[in-house]
Amino acid sequence: MHHRLECPRCGDHHAVSADLGVAWDDIHCETCGEFLETRQALSERVAPSLLIESCLRARQMGIAA
């Protein structure tokens, strides 16, 4: 599976991981092989924060009231 992450070593934006789709799969740079992160860490970083969602909902409720 391909991911668009920047490699700190070579600066390339092509990262790959195994096609199994398990959380502990390593994501590494396709060019130099540098370990970037795991699939679980990537999904947690990309997922919306519960705190941010709560603040936004509270703000919407305050504006609508």
pLDDT digit of tens for each residue in the chain (65 aa)? 888 899 999 999 999 988 887 888 999 999 999 999 998 888 888 877 888 888 888 888 886 54
Point out which residues pair with 2 in neighbouring strands. Answer: 16
CA distance 40 to 62: 35
pLDDT the model gives residue 64:
54
Q: Which of 27, 30, 38, 32 is nearest to 9 (CA)?
A: 32
What is the structure's pLDDT at 65?
Answer: 44
Tally of domains within the chain: 1
| Residue 19 belongs to domain spanning | 2-64
SS3 43: helix
Q: What is the pLDDT of residue 44?
A: 84
